[in-house]
C-alpha cells in the first residue's frame, strides 16, 4: 500500500483523537517522525493543558490530571512553554518548507528551520514566558505567541545555569533590524 507520509499522519490523528481533529482535550494529539531506515514511526503527544486568553490576561490552564506536576514551579520566574500550532495543522501548511520570515517579502526566502514560522513539518512551538502567578492549576503569564485554546504540550522551567546565553551569537542580517 503506497500512502504518503502526510496521509499517514492525518489518519493517525483521526484515529487517536476523540471529538475533532484539532480539538483540545486531555486526549492524544498525534505526531509522526521518521527513523533512519525511512520507515514511518508514530508517537503520541498528550496535551497537558491549553492557552487561555481572556479579558486581557493570559493563562496556561493545566488539565486536572496534570496539576500535581506544577509543584515547585512557583520557585521559578520564567518557563518555556511548548505548544502545538493547531490552527496550522493542514497537509498544505505542513509541507511549506520555506517562507519569508515574519511574512515580510523584503526578508529573504528562508527555510522554516532557520526561522520561527508557524508553518513547519511538526507544528511544535516554543515561547519563553514570565510567570506572574500560579493558582489552582493555572499559570498566569505575561505573554505568549499562541492563540486562545492552543494545546500545551509541555512546560519546562527556565534555569539560568542550563539555559544561559551562549557567547558569540550570530544572527542573519534580516533579523538584526
pLDDT of residue 43: 80
pLDDT of residue 38: 60
- Whether 145 is in a domain gets the answer no
Give tens-digit pLDDT for 30-71.
544 445 556 677 788 899 999 999 999 999 999 999 999 999
Average pLDDT over residues 90-111: 92
- Whether 87 is in a domain gets the answer no
- Whether 97 is in a domain gets the answer no
Cβ atoms within 10 Å, residue 123: 20
pLDDT of residue 18: 30
Q: Which residues contact 114 (CB under 8 A, 6 or more apart)?
A: 172
- Whether 5 is in a domain gets the answer yes
Instruction: HSE, CB side, 13 Å, CA atoms: give it for residue 11.
Output: 8
Number of structural domains found in the chain: 1
Domain of residue 23 covers 1-46
Q: Which of 77, 72, 48 is nearest to 61 (CA)?
A: 48
pLDDT of residue 29: 54
**Residue 2: pLDDT above 70?**
no
Q: Which residue has the higher pLDDT, 163 or 3?
A: 163
- Whether 173 is in a domain gets the answer no
| Average pLDDT over all residues of the chain | 81
User: Cα 52 vs. chain centroid, distance in angstroms?
Assistant: 15
Query: C-alpha cell of 163?
Result: 539555559
Amino acid at each position: 500500500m503506497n500512502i504518503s507520509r502526510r496521509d499517514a499522519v492525518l489518519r493517525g490523528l483521526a484515529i487517536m483523537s476523540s471529538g475533532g481533529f484539532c480539538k483540545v482535550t486531555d486526549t492524544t494529539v498525534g505526531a509522526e517522525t521518521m527513523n533512519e531506515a525511512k520507515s514511518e514511526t508514530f508517537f503520541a503527544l498528550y496535551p497537558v493543558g491549553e492557552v487561555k486568553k481572556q479579558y486581557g490576561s493570559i493563562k496556561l490552564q493545566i488539565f486536572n490530571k496534570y496539576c500535581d506536576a506544577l509543584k515547585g514551579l512557583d520557585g521559578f520566574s520564567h518557563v518555556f512553554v511548548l505548544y502545538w500550532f493547531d490552527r496550522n495543522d493542514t497537509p498544505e501548511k505542513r509541507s511549506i518548507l520555506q517562507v519569508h520570515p515574519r511574512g515580510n517579502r523584503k526578508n529573504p526566502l528562508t527555510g522554516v528551520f532557520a526561522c520561527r514560522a508557524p508553518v513547519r513539518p511538526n507544528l511544535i512551538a516554543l515561547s519563553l514566558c514570565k510567570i506572574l502567578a500560579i493558582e489552582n492549576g493555572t499559570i498566569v503569564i505575561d505573554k505568549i505567541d499562541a492563540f486562545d485554546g492552543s494545546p500545551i504540550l509541555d512546560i519546562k522551567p527556565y534555569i539560568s545555569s542550563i539555559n544561559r546565553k551562549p557567547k558569540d551569537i550570530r544572527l542573519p542580517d534580516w533579523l538584526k533590524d
